[in-house]
A and B are shown apart, each in its own frame.
Chain A
Amino acid sequence: MSASPVQRKTHWWLAALLLGQLILMSVNARHPSSEQSVFRTWMMSVFSPLVKVGDAVISKIGGGFSGLSELRRAKSENEELRQEVERLTIALNESREKAAQYDVIRNTYGLPSLLQYRQVAANVIARDTSLWFNRLTIDRGTLDGVKRDMPVATTTGIVGRVISVGPNFAQVQVITDSNAGVGVMLQSTRAMGVLKGLNNARCEIKNIPSTEEVPEGETVVTNGLDRIYPKGLIVGTTERVENDGSTPWKRIVVNPAAQVDRVENVLVLLIDAKELKLEETIK
């Protein structure tokens, strides 16, 4: 039995649509830089303001309910915070003293200064839109000076990097995504490795030799060699350290310092990749 003209037309359309999707896929997969696709920029530029308004409304409603229950905890929390402020004030004074000493040494030996950069604060307006990726959408874009590959952090630690940007939005790949990689080092021993996401709110450091002494609770910072994150930003702390008999490397699980899966506000570090390369070359 032969197909009717309508059926034949439908088959052609199906073939054309599937072929179109295959072309889109191959272009995107071959060039990672094409994540900055025209489709994505157009569509997200339109959606971003709507999502921002919707997010504000939902947050306001949710905040009203949770605010009532949190009021009870506020008193004890206030006391804890007072003690924390006192402790941090002492720590800050110590750090200032150390920084002053470091400046004297740096000037004496002519060492280059740390990279200075501007930051722009952003709100997280969407998260985990797809089950398959760990991504955030923030409400800042090229109009605010945000560019692809700029690091994103909170005051406690790094969150990820910008992978796609439009005029009023940017998509951020978080450090716990299995596709993410960060050059890191252990703060005390300066042993260097590569941080990879484990997709479960934790990360893992690769390439640290099993002979290296790594205590649990050790601070992990960026090493600046990935040309994305400047040196010295806090990443997290080591949570579990194991020796794997089958490889010459340690298995080190890191708990990120920033609450990557719950973060609401972030800072985009306005660092141009060229700027970072120059800085690293000087070092």
Chain B
Amino acid sequence: MQILKITLTVLLALLLQLLLPKHLRFFRFIELPLIVTVYFSLMRSPMMGMWTGALAGVGSDIIGGGIVGVGGFSKTLIGYVIATVSVKFPLDNPLARLGIVALASAANTIFVVGLYLMLEQSIQHVGAWGEFGATLGLKTLGDTLASIPIFWVLNRLFPDQSQAKRMAIRRRFYE
């Protein structure tokens, strides 16, 4: 049931990603599948993190018209790393979570741009170092700000997971 809910959430994120940038120009700098990947990766299951990343990444490649696998590779790795880190360190603080989203967004941009350059594919917004820096900054800011309402909504859609997190914090405190 949980897997189905997560899959549907990722599919909804992909659908909105397809629909919204046409109407809201700033949405180009927001990547909903990445934010969803980070959210589920913070649930401390590396398996869940990387599978969510793989699904969200391949989905973004498909809808975005790029090479299928580039976003998948990047998000699978990001999902796994965040989930592994969240097992070892407490990342339940909202500020820590924002920091993780910002790092994940920057890492994703660098991975994706790096992979496209390695594959000798031309992509936009990376013409010069200055332009790449501006894109990286705007995208990181966009993803981080967008994660605030999205995490709030997801916390209400997945209350069991929020409860599990609170229990985990208490356990860490008392044990």
Which A positions have Cβ atoms within 8 angstroms of B? 10, 13-14, 17-18, 20-26, 28-29, 35, 37, 39-40, 43-44, 47, 50-51, 54-55, 58-59, 62, 124-135, 137, 163-164, 171, 173, 177-179, 199
Contact = CB atoms under 8 A, between A and B. Distances in A.
A40 B69 CA distance: 12
30 contacts: A13-B47, A13-B50, A23-B69, A25-B67, A25-B69, A25-B70, A39-B58, A40-B68, A43-B62, A44-B62, A44-B63, A47-B15, A47-B18, A51-B19, A54-B15, A55-B22, A124-B22, A126-B21, A126-B22, A126-B63, A128-B22, A128-B25, A129-B63, A130-B63, A131-B29, A131-B125, A131-B135, A132-B123, A163-B65, A178-B122
A24 B80 contact: no
A75 to B, nearest CB: 28
Kindly name the residue among B62, B80, B116 whose own CB sees the greatest number of chain A CB atoms within 10 A: B62
Interface of B: 14-15, 17-19, 21-23, 25, 28-29, 31, 46-47, 50-51, 54, 57-60, 62-70, 72-73, 76-77, 80, 112-113, 115-116, 119, 121-125, 127, 135, 139
Looking at B18, B23, B25, B31, the one whose CB has the most chain A CB atoms below 10 A away is B18
Contact of B21 (A37, A43, A129): A129
B67 A28 contact: yes
A54 to B, nearest CB: 5
A133 B113 CA distance: 12
B26 to A, nearest CB: 11
Contacts, number: 141
Nearest to B139: A131
What are the nearest 6 A-B pairs in CB distance? A130-B64, A24-B69, A25-B69, A199-B124, A21-B73, A132-B123
A13 B135 CA distance: 32
A252 B118 CA distance: 30
Contact of A43 (B51, B63, B125): B63
A187 B117 CA distance: 36
Contacts of A43: 59, 62-63
A130 B68 contact: no
Contacts of A28: 67-69
Given A28-B67, A39-B68, A133-B66, A128 B18 contact: no
A29 B68 CA distance: 9
A55 B22 CA distance: 9
A18 B23 CA distance: 34
Contact of B65 (A25, A133, A199): A133
Contacts of A51: 15, 18-19
Contact of B116 (A23, A26, A132): A132
Contacts of B125: 131-132, 199
A58 B64 CA distance: 20
A28 B46 CA distance: 28
B23 A21 contact: no
A131 B18 contact: no
Given A47-B15, A55-B19, A132-B112, A21 B62 contact: no
A24 B58 contact: yes
Select the residue from B25, B31, B124, B127 with max chain A CB neighbours within 10 A.
Answer: B124
Interface centre among B58, B63, B77, by most chain A C-beta atoms within 10 angstroms, is: B63
Contacts of A37: 62, 68
Given A25-B119, A37-B68, A132-B66, A17 B19 contact: no
Contacts of B51: 13, 17
Nearest to B45: A10
A36 B46 CA distance: 32
Given A55-B19, A129-B18, A39 B62 contact: yes
A21 B70 CA distance: 7
B32 to A, nearest CB: 11
B69 A21 contact: yes
